[in-house]
Amino acid sequence: MAIITAPAIIRALSLFHLSLSYFLIASPSTIVNQSLVFILGASMRLPTPPSFSIASPSTALSALILALLGLTDLTACSLPEEISSYYWGSQAPIRCTFFFALTGYAYAFKPEGPIRGASQQVNPWDNLNTSVVFTWSFLEMITWFWIFITLREERRELAVRKAEKKRAEENML
């Protein structure tokens, strides 16, 4: 049995989304100045986005999207165990794959990165190649992988409990 259950991890991640949402509206520079963002960004040689120094319409929209994501995930955590298992069992691999692709893109297609090289063509997707996007997607990828593994364990335990319950009912007859 897992020490921390999947619903607990999802609730913590939802609260993280709500916290990020608050900071994106109130003070986006707080996010950029975090040690983890700085260390991961510097180690991957990713630029720090200058647009995060003050609140802007783009950070407000990002905050609203994160708040919606956090609230809907908190709501979905209150589903019954069997329904929740199926729902999160389908969500976890999709989200993990998406954030894996985003993390890989942020690193591989950075200026002077392994795929893009020294090409200095301006690309509209260059805004994803920042330390903030990389750090956020990396943390999300790790968390969703952890949720996926925990859900697999919990699903196996649920199947064992169902089998034991069925055997107990058969023995009663």
Please report, in tens digits, the pLDDT of each residue of the chain (173 residues total). Answer: 668 999 999 999 999 999 999 999 999 999 999 999 999 999 998 988 888 888 889 899 999 999 999 999 999 999 998 899 899 999 999 999 999 999 999 988 887 777 766 666 677 777 888 899 999 999 999 999 999 999 999 888 888 888 898 888 888 86
Contact 37, 131 (CB under 8 A): yes
Token pair 């319950």: residue? 165
Q: Residue 43: exposed, middle, or buried by beta-carbon count in 10 A (0-12, 13-18, 19+)? A: exposed
Q: What is the pLDDT of residue 138?
A: 97
Q: CA–CA separation, 54 vs 31, rounded Å? A: 11
What residues have CB less than 8 Å from 12, skipping those under 6 apart?
Answer: none
Q: Please report the sign of the dihedral spanned by the C-alpha atoms of residue 4, residue 74, residue 81, residue 95.
A: negative
**CA-closest candidate to residue 112, choices 102, 103, 121:** 121
Angle, in degrees to the nearest 10, between helices 6-26 and 57-76: 160
Whole-angstrom distance, CA of residue 127 vs CA of residue 90: 29
pLDDT of residue 39: 95
- Distance, CA of 112 to chain centre: 27
Predicted local distance difference test score (pLDDT) of residue 117: 61
* Rounded distance between C-alpha atoms, residue 156 and residue 110, angstroms: 41
Q: How far apart are CA 10 and CA 88, in angstroms?
A: 9
How distant is the alpha carbon of residue 35 from its chain centre?
19
CA atoms of 74 and 14, how far apart (whole Å): 6
pLDDT digits (tens, 9 = 90+) for 33-78: 999 999 999 999 898 888 888 888 989 999 999 999 999 999 999 9
The alpha helices in 80-130, defined as continuous H runs, are: 81-108
Q: Identify the sign of the CA torsion 86, 87, 92, 98.
A: positive
